[in-house]
Amino acid sequence: MFGVLGFGSEVKNLGVVGVNITGSLRVGGLVGWNRSGTVTQCYSMGVISGDSPVGGLVGYNSHLDSHLARCYSTGTVKGTGKRIGGLVGVNEGARVTHCYSTGAVGSTGQWSSVGGLVGPTRAL
């Protein structure tokens, strides 16, 4: 639904159902790249697949200002690359609070970092 959320952006109280998304880079059920935005009380349900990073709700969650709060993802998250997560594909310096993910998460990539909630995480 959203390719990139920039500084000061906010998505609140939004859910997407029956998602069927296939992409390559920064693939998410609701947001591809959260780059200093806030996502609150949002969810996605469906199938999300791509290369890397791939997340059930957000593909790539980066920057200290980025925040996911009270969100969830259900369904299936599939990747062919290294960074796959049920809720967030990669979390880099951002905050994720009071969130959860259910469903199958997997990757066919060699040396993959796969997480039920978040793929790889790195502090900035």
Give me the CATH number covering residue 93: 2.160.20.110
| Type of residue numbered 34 | N
64 lies in which domain range? 2-118
- On whether the CB atoms of residues 51 and 24 are closer than 8 A, the answer is yes
Count of domains forming the chain: 1
Mean pLDDT of the chain: 95
| pTM of the predicted structure, to 2 decimals | 0.95
pLDDT at 110: 83
pLDDT at 124: 64
